[in-house]
Structure 1
Amino acid sequence: MTSASTQLDFSPTVSLAIVGAGPAGLSLALQAARALPDARITVFDARPADKDVSGDPRTLALSLGTVQELQRMGVWDTIQAGGATAAIREVHVSQQQPTVLWPGQDQPEVRITATEQGVPQLGAVLSYGTLVAPLQQAWQSACAQRPQQLSLRFGTPVKGLKPTEQGVEIDADIAESFDLAVVAEGGVFADQPKLTWPDGVSRDYEQVAWVGTVMLSADTPVGVAYERFTPSGPAALLPLPAGSVSADGVTGPRAALVWCVQQGDDPVKELNDAQRLTVLNSLFHPRVGPITAVSPLKCFPLGLNAHRRLVSDGAIVRIGNAAQTLHPVAGQGFNLGMRDVHELLSALRDARPAQCQSASDKALWIQRALRRFERRRQPDRVALLATTDFLARSFTYPAPILATVRGLGLGAVGALSPLKRLIARSMMFGWR
């Protein structure tokens, strides 16, 4: 009787709405349920409840910091047990064009290894479905254990968010009030509404990314992520578990391919698979070894879409792709979103008072926490936005000096251990 009465009288400290049941939204929900154990958390998503996301093949590169977050959430062991992840133990960056003025006999390159950084791995590679399916299962289990506090509403698109004096009103067929709303549903650059200052900045790089999978030779080093700067744009190979890349069923070492080229002078579009394979073998550093097969490729436009503020209208927050969509040159888009999640929950937890006397007290606490969150996140966010924007735009101009600048930059990073260590730490954990 006492237990039932306690349940009926339940009144959460804070109510949180999360828009989007992708990896960022589900990660926020799972971590918020632990960091704010008495909160009411509702996740909204437009996709049907019976839609299976486990087979979504989109490739994600996770930094070590993101892997550690997933370990703390208790889902990484389940993800790894599926055998569909690959560790990144080395990153190799080089440039196809010769670097004028470079004094060394060999062309400049950067090699960052987990061993020299004193970590077990620099990160990991897996598919979108491999990540989202366990996160979704973990959140559904949490909802089943705490149904009064936690919920997941599939097939419920959020049509609008309206600021109120005490929080946010969510329009999802019916109007519901929450203390805080987090938008974690970003999509891709081509589908996003473009921003103008002062709301934010949008920039079409006039580049496209061709993505797919390639087969590598048996003696290719395992666990190495390669990035190659070419005259048309950056190209990357990310390690994958062994498997096949075509219908013939032949298996072997594989890598995910991200091949960025200029949209107006696309050297990939008119090529067949055999021709693409020939070009790829001339493109990457000799250390990659022969690429023996390539899957059919898909094409995506590339651009920058970044909101100036992470917090708007009092208690509406944007994280991940909803806050910024980046060029894939650094492979940090999802990791940036995970750092948003970590910092948002840290700010809410640190600013939380022992008790709130009124609804207005709670609103002030949340606003104070959100100001702290935004202040802490902007340096890391701005640094990564500026870096990826510079690199992406450097491929849109034919001036040879830009290739020289990139090459000299690679040489400086490779030669200066403190600088390389700084780059490595930012790659794993962000700019702190």
Structure 2
Amino acid sequence: MTADIETNSNTTNSHTLETQDVKLVDVAIVGGAMTGATLALSLKKLSEKLNRPLKIALIEAHKPGSEHPGFDARSIAIAHGSIFELKRLGLWSKLAHLGTPIENIHISDRGHFGMTELNAEDFHLQSLGQVVELERVGQVLFKQLEASDVQLHCPETLAHVEAQVDCQLLTLNDGTQIKTALLVAADGVNSKVRQAFNLPLEQVDFEQVALVANVETDKPHNNWAFERFTNTGPLAVLPMAPLKGDPRVSLVWALTPSEAERLQSVAKDEFLAELQQAFGFRAGRFTQVGERFSYPLLMSHMPRPIYHRTVFIGNAAQTLHPIAGQGFNLGLRDLVSLLDVVKQRLLAEGEAVDLGSAKLTHTYLKSREKDRFSTMTNVEFLVRGFSNDHWPLVVGRSLGLRLLSWLPPLKVPVARAAMGWKSVS
């Protein structure tokens, strides 16, 4: 089967490109954001550990910028369980200096009596997770990639892919051709690899838009994170490293599409006033806001995130509502499962291993079924349960949050999910 990737009018069609020598690799990864870059580096470390050289290619359309304005970088929370995995992969030591610890999480229901807290010390931990700015992480990961022998094709895009019996044949927009035993799609929700093979994607539209910004406050956050549920959706405030000495936090605010459009365009003072009214003063007074971004909130997933000699991971396999902050954490568990399957095949089959075999891809598929299903189901439940003012749900969720405060043992499963302990239990 062959498939062309849609390109714009300024891009040369793959069939007219000059013929070049074909590069042969064991694994080609399309998409070099956090998940794809982490996988490439982890595969290299695995091959060195097992003394089994692997040829790895990484194709990514954009390089991380060398500089970025202090308010414009998106941030994510890396759960405690994910940090455990990044340490095991030998990567966290390179990223730790970029993290801001989450020591406490305050959860509340706006306008109602329900609230509770999760505290790291209650679980004998230094933190429940770390907040990092994606662009700064990208710069660190790409420096490591450039210092490795990973075949890095960046900035470059996929123009054409052809499924052959013993490989996937990739053609890039610059004419480079790559034959790979295993193709890994880590290229996001609009995956070009998925579209090229016309594979199904199921979506749930929550009819919400996430408004994202970095915000300065008039007092230190003291490593508190906040999740406040409103009738339009959750409002999350995450601690960040100060900028030029000024305390700041990362904001993710779920709104109706019309409200998000309005709040993205109002004057900064008006935006800060409405944010203050919606959130309250637990984080102090909001004093400044950077550039505001927005994106629709959908939950999407591929029913079968595999294809002939192809595996889909991270946002290419599924995207989550940010209500529980589990997007990257679930994607990291994807790549850790893939690494475990690759390791098993390398140890069992040695030099004769076929990393793109149906046995490998189906073993990976089976390893991810339970975690993917339970995580997506739990996230959808949270969104449905906390994004409306239907009074039976209001009473139920408020009572549930209060019970967590009154009966601390009930917090354990909540904390385990928040910290991504599935992978270390």
TM-score (norm 2): 0.82
Q: State how 1:5-404 maps to structure 2 within 5 Å.
A: 15-37=26-48, 38-47=53-62, 52=65, 55=68, 57-81=73-97, 84-98=98-112, 107-143=113-149, 150-172=150-172, 173-186=175-188, 199-218=200-219, 220-243=220-243, 251-266=245-260, 268-269=263-264, 271-284=266-279, 286-312=281-307, 314-355=308-349, 362=354, 366-394=357-385, 399-404=390-395
What is the percent sequence identity of the aligned residues?
28
Letter in 1 for 2:181: D
1:88 positional shift: 0.8
The aligned counterpart of 2:4 is none
The superposition leaves residues 257-299 of structure 1 with CA deviations (integer Å, 9 ceiling, x where unpaired) of 1111111455635642222222222222553333333334222
1:174 positional shift: 4.3
1:28 positional shift: 0.2
Ranges in structure 2 where 5+ consecutive residues have no aligned partner: 1-23
For the 8 Å contact 1:217–1:292, the answer to whether it is kept is: yes
Q: How many residue pairs are counted as aligned between the two chains?
A: 389
| Structure 2: distance between partners of 1:400 and 1:53 | 50
Letter in 2 for 1:297: R
Q: Assess, with a 3 A threshold, how the Cα gap between structure 1 residues 192 and 17 changes in structure 2: closer, same or farther.
A: closer
Q: Assess, with a 3 A threshold, how the Cα gap between structure 1 residues 347 and 74 changes in structure 2: closer, same or farther.
A: closer
| Structure 2: distance between partners of 1:261 and 1:394 | 15
For the 8 Å contact 2:80–2:129, the answer to whether it is kept is: yes
1:86 positional shift: 1.0
| Structure 2: distance between partners of 1:379 and 1:185 | 23
1:125 positional shift: 0.9
| Structure 2: distance between partners of 1:284 and 1:41 | 46
The aligned counterpart of 1:248 is none
Ranges in structure 1 where 5+ consecutive residues have no aligned partner: 1-11, 99-106, 144-149, 245-250
1:93 positional shift: 0.9
Q: Assess, with a 3 A threshold, how the Cα gap between structure 1 residues 396 and 346 changes in structure 2: closer, same or farther.
A: same
1:171 positional shift: 2.5
Q: Secondary structure at the match of 1:52?
A: coil
| Structure 2: distance between partners of 1:117 and 1:398 | 33
| Structure 1: distance between partners of 2:362 and 2:420 | 22
For the 8 Å contact 2:232–2:388, the answer to whether it is kept is: no
Letter in 2 for 1:226: F
The aligned counterpart of 2:18 is none
Q: Assess, with a 3 A threshold, how the Cα gap between structure 1 residues 263 and 192 changes in structure 2: closer, same or farther.
A: farther
Q: Assess, with a 3 A threshold, how the Cα gap between structure 1 residues 17 and 90 changes in structure 2: closer, same or farther.
A: same
The superposition leaves residues 19-70 of structure 1 with CA deviations (integer Å, 9 ceiling, x where unpaired) of 11111111001111122331111111123x6x62553711121112222333
